[in-house]
């Protein structure tokens, strides 16, 4: 076969269907000199077995997937190569093509699809191995994005409906405050603190509602230099009226020279508000637990750690932590962590959780510094 013909075949390999690949494989099987060149160009792994189950050929992709040199790969039994998803006896007796999926956890998480098919009238068998890891990851990201868009729409609609009566409530409270000014001193003394408290809570709800809506709009961030220690202090100040009556102790270890972040302070406030509120709500009794908050940094990131000694999270629940409307709280809506994760990802950061049922939960967040240091290899 001429070299230019081989080049044309190699250029078409990525566009060929499985049946076309099988046909091409058998046509070239007799051309030993060309066989290795052609099929080493494939991203999918190929292993050819004879009728006795002995591997006779494997391409470079197969060797890379199994992380073994060719001579070791050809000595591996068929059942082991396919991760026990299919036996050699099952393949030989079926006489048909069989496909199986395999999820490998070590040394890294990978998803493989195996296509096992008899060729040359059953005299030989072809194993085609496809790495679906990236494809599955893209599908999961698309599904997550679609899910979050749906949640955003629903949350926006609900927040809008809450905003209208909240605005009306605030206006009526202000009218009551004006009328109270005309009342006698004793009445004003009794009712003014109550009315001021109601107005303050209304304003706080309005602020939280606006921050919530802002955090749900990924393309609408207002970035500016912010200090995480100041944001955390503001969150604790807002939550103090809820924590103080329950005797929740807050222990802090904050880095005094914490670098600034180029971030949306309102969104980060919303994220830490949710996390700290989750932390103290997980503590069952009054005066029986506390929260630990730590901040530190390295050359590239600022790190925030929020821990509690509450009820913790079971293994079963941990697997569904970021699904909307899944919650362990009686009055929760299951959107808090989903929103937090979205905010942190929008800031280029990472969010991780570690928890043990009955012991507590620790949340770790890293966010890139505004003055991130780029390390280069020495020239």
Range with the poorest average pLDDT among 20-29, 217-226, 340-349: 20-29
* H helical segments located in 60-116: 60-66, 70-73, 78-81, 88-94
Structure letter (DSSP) for residue 302:
E
Q: Which of 50, 52, 69 is nearest to 60 (CA)?
A: 69
Mean pLDDT within 145-166: 68
d(CA 211, CA 271) in angstroms, rounded, equals 10
> Which residues share a beta bridge with 87?
none
Contact 329, 337 (CB under 8 A): no
Summarize the confidence of residues 138-156 as an average pLDDT: 67
* Among 95, 138, 135, CA closest to 118: 95
The pTM for the full model equals 0.48
Query: 80 is written with which tokens?
Result: 């082991």
Give the model confidence (pLDDT) of 41-71 as tens digits.
778 888 888 888 888 888 888 888 888 888 8
- Chain mean pLDDT for the chain: 77
pLDDT given at position 222: 75
Give yes or no for a contact between 335 and 155, defined as CB atoms under 8 angstroms apart. yes
Q: Contact 176/195 with Cβ under 8 angstroms?
A: yes
User: Is the distance from CB of 290 to CB of 308 less than 8 angstroms?
Assistant: yes
Distance (Å, whole) CA 282 – CA 280: 5
- Please identify which residue in the block is written with the tokens 């009342």: 183
Region 249-267 average pLDDT: 89
Segment of 96-110, 202-216, 310-324 carrying the highest mean pLDDT? 96-110
> Which of these, 97, 65, 91, lies nearest to 78 by C-alpha position?
91
In Å, how far are 66, 101, 125, 337 from 117, measured between CA atoms? 20, 15, 6, 46
Angle at CA of residue 54, ends 53 and 59, nearest 5°: 115
């Amino acid at each position: 076969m001429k070299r230019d013909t081989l080049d044309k075949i190699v250029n078409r390999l990525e566009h060929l269907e499985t049946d076309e690949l099988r046909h091409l494989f058998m046509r070239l099987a007799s051309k030993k000199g060309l066989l290795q060149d052609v099929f080493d160009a494939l991203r999918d792994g190929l292993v050819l077995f004879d009728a006795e189950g002995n591997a006779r050929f494997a391409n470079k992709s197969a060797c890379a997937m199994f992380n073994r040199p060719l001579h070791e790969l050809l000595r591996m039994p068929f059942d082991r190569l396919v991760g026990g998803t299919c036996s050699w006896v099952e393949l030989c007796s079926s006489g048909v093509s069989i496909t199986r999926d395999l999820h490998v956890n070590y040394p890294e998480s990978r998803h493989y699809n195996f296509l096992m098919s008899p060729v040359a009238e059953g005299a030989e068998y072809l194993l085609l191995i496809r790495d679906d890891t990236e494809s599955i990851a893209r599908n999961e990201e698309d599904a997550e994005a679609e899910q979050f868009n749906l949640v955003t729409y629903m949350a926006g609609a609900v927040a809008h409906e809450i905003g209208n009566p909240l605005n009306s409530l605030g206006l009526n409270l202000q009218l009551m405050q004006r009328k109270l000014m005309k009342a006698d001193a004793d009445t004003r003394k009794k009712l003014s603190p109550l009315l001021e408290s109601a107005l303050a809570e209304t304003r706080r709800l309005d602020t939280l509602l606006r921050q919530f809506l802002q955090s749900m709009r990924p393309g609408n961030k207002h970035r500016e230099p912010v200090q995480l220690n100041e944001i955390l202090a503001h969150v604790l100040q807002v939550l103090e009226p809820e924590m103080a009556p329950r005797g929740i102790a807050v222990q802090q270890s904050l880095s005094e020279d914490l670098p600034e972040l180029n971030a949306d302070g309102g969104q980060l406030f919303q994220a830490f508000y949710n996390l700290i509120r989750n932390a103290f709500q997980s503590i069952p009794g009054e005066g029986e637990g506390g929260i630990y908050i730590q901040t530190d940094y390295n050359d590239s990131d600022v790190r925030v750690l929020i821990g509690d000694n509450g009820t913790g999270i079971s293994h079963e629940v941990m697997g569904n932590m970021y699904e909307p409307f899944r919650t362990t709280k009686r009055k929760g809506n299951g959107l808090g962590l989903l929103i937090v994760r979205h905010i942190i990802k929008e800031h280029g950061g990472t969010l991780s959780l570690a928890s043990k049922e009955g012991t507590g939960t620790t949340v770790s967040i890293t966010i890139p510094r505004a003055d991130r240091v780029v390390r280069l290899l020495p020239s």
